[in-house]
Amino acid sequence: MKLFGRKVKRNSKIPEGKSIDLRSKLVLRRKQPGHWETDNMEGIKTDKTVVSVTVERVARLTLLSKLDNHQTKTKIEVLAQRTKNLPEFFRGTITADNGAENTAHQELTALTGMPVFFCHPYHSWEKGTVENMNGRIRKYFPKGESLDSVTPEEIAWAERKINSTPRKCLQFLTPYEKILEIVEKEKRRRQ
């Protein structure tokens, strides 16, 4: 079946993937830190590279990483590396789409301790935080332009810029400032 020129696949190819329906309803409230959404952002279809975009739902902290290929192993290694030094309370869940890059989700859970939940097929709004961030990132890396020539330094610069920008939804704090606020609150709570 084709819908708007795309072949529509009704069944997920994610083996043993957990539906977003099984994710705690607390995640929706954005009160508990440590719940992440992830997606890959393409430049043009023929690019060998993509940018992995991962966003924390409460603080809107954004992690950008250039991936050398579209393989699941690469995505998992980068996500595990980027999240391994986070405090335990900042490693809750990951929400992803049904893309092929997410098929080895069990390995990601084993490496990070974070269960991975999957949106329903063609329901990108179920991970709206990362979808919104993809739109913001297009300011730095416009749609239709190749990402192959973008350097890791340029990706890191864009990540710092995004995380240093005040947000209305954070009462005009930056994601970096919001993270510090959350960490301080957690320290007080544990004392």
Q: With respect to residue 12, please indicate whether it lies within any of the assigned structural domains.
A: no
Q: What is the CATH number of the domain that holds 31?
A: 3.30.420.10
Structural domain of residue 69, as residue ranges? 19-190
pLDDT band at 67, cuts 50/70/90? very high
Q: What is the pTM of this model?
A: 0.89
- In 3D space, the residue among 45, 155, 40, 55 whose CA is nearest the CA of residue 102 turns out to be 40
Q: With respect to residue 13, please indicate whether it lies within any of the assigned structural domains.
A: no
pLDDT band at 172, cuts 50/70/90? very high
Q: With respect to residue 85, please indicate whether it lies within any of the assigned structural domains.
A: yes
At 54 the pLDDT is 97
Q: With respect to residue 147, please indicate whether it lies within any of the assigned structural domains.
A: yes
Q: With respect to residue 122, please indicate whether it lies within any of the assigned structural domains.
A: yes
At 189 the pLDDT is 85
Q: With respect to residue 14, please indicate whether it lies within any of the assigned structural domains.
A: no
Q: 19-22, long-range: CB within 8 Å, 24+ apart, which pairs?
A: 19/117, 19/118, 19/120, 20/95, 20/117, 20/118, 20/119, 20/120, 20/126, 22/117
Q: Residue 78 and residue 69: Cα distance in Å, rounded?
A: 12
Q: With respect to residue 178, please indicate whether it lies within any of the assigned structural domains.
A: yes
Q: Which range is least confidently modeled, 10-19, 108-117, 142-151?
A: 10-19
Question: How many domains does the chain contain in total?
Answer: 1
Q: With respect to residue 23, please indicate whether it lies within any of the assigned structural domains.
A: yes
pLDDT band at 6, cuts 50/70/90? low
Q: Residue 183 and residue 112: Cα distance in Å, rounded?
A: 19
pLDDT band at 40, cuts 50/70/90? very high
pLDDT band at 145, cuts 50/70/90? very high
Q: Is the pLDDT of residue 7 over 80?
A: no
